[in-house]
Each structure stands twice: as structure tokens, then as C-alpha cells.
Amino acid sequence: MSVLRFGGFEIHRSYLDGPAQLDLLAALREVVAQAPLLAPKTPRGGKMSVRMTAAGQFGWISDRAGYRYEARHPAGMPWPSIPEPVLAIWDALSGVDRQPECCLINFYGEGARMGLHQDKDEADFDLPVLSVSLGDDGLFRMGGAARSDRTQSLWLQSGDVVVMGGAARLAFHGVDRIRFGSSSLLAQGGRINLTLRVVT
């Protein structure tokens, strides 16, 4: 395992080994069984290319009513609890005492991407955001506090964890593309990204 730093982004390479990735994947499948993946739409009605669900007290959703946190899955049920293997990553790397209140689970199929954006729907920007990668490689783009700031990109691999705190907490970031089929973790291919956040 190694740690890389880019303008406040802290990338923990290969933080999760093979068995740990499989354990985490099994826990996430239980979450998805309780709270199925959604195909969210943007407030303007466009369809996002990722599918998503969540665990914790809140889930982050997007629809015609806007981007926001909600205490229930759109189908009506509460979000499942955040799995213990996920919380263990937060406890080890976040550097804060508070526990995450949302674990957003994004699934990237072939051709999926995530445009440059800021994580700014939370109440306290002094608390970090953690991102966990599983499955196919994703080209992660990192910018600054303004959308127009210079960006740099890095391929994230299965088992990598990114900590976004300090100068990176409100930095623009996104996933330009995935290298579909680059990992054997998911039998049908694709990338899973977990984003851990304190909401309140």
C-alpha cells in the first residue's frame, strides 16, 4: 500500500486487498438486496449514466425535485445500515470522531461517467469525504475550488481509497470513464464507488 497526494486529495493505493474486497462486496450485495439500485434523473430530466443506492441514515438522490439527502429510499423503505467493513475504513482513515451518516453506492456500467462536481450538500465542510473503489479502473479527475481550475487525472483501481479533506473537501472532481473489464472482481464487469459522508 502507498499513499499519493494531489492538491489535498489523499489516495491510499491498494488499501483493500483481495479478500477484503470480496468481504466488502458481499456486504454491499446485502444492502442492494434491501435497497435496489436506482437510475436517477437530473433536475432537468436527463438520465444519469450511473445507478445508485445508499446505506445509513440518509441517501443522496436526484430527481426533478433536485439534488438532496433523504431518509428513505424512493420506494419508501429506510436505507439499510452502513456495513461494518465500510465503517472500519472510515474509522481508520477519516481522522474524525463522527461516524458517516451516508454511504452512497454508485455503480458504473460500461460507458458510465460522473461529471465534475463538488460535494456541498452537507452541513459541515470540515469533515472529510471518503471514496472507495471496487471493480474496474476509473479515471478520476481532480480539480480545485472553482470549476475552471486546472485538473489532473489518475486511474483508480479496485481497493483504492481516496480521502477528500482540507483543501480537497470542496474541490471539483469526477470520473471521466471506466476501463470496462479491467478487473475480475465483478463477474459482469463494472465499477462500484462508495462515498462516505457526514450529512448533518
Grid cell in block for residue 188: 459482469
How high is the pLDDT of residue 155?
98
Give the model's pLDDT for residue 47: 85
Do 32 and 87 contact (CB within 8 A), yes or no? no
Contact between 143 and 150 under an 8 Å Cβ cutoff? The reply is yes
Q: Split the chain (200 residues) into runs of 10 and give each run's mean pLDDT.
A: 90 98 98 94 84 96 85 95 98 97 97 92 95 98 94 97 95 96 96 98
Domain that holds residue 96: 2-197
Task: Report CA 163 to chain centroid distance, whole Å.
Answer: 11
Any idea what the CATH number is for the domain that residue 193 is in?
A: 2.60.120.590
User: Which pLDDT does position 120 carry in this prediction?
Assistant: 92
Q: What is the pLDDT of residue 7?
A: 83
Instruction: Determine the Cα–Cα distance for residues 25 and 31; give it in Å rounded to an integer.
Output: 10
- By DSSP bridging, strand 102-108 and strand 51-56 are antiparallel
Span between the terminal Cα atoms of the chain, in Å: 32
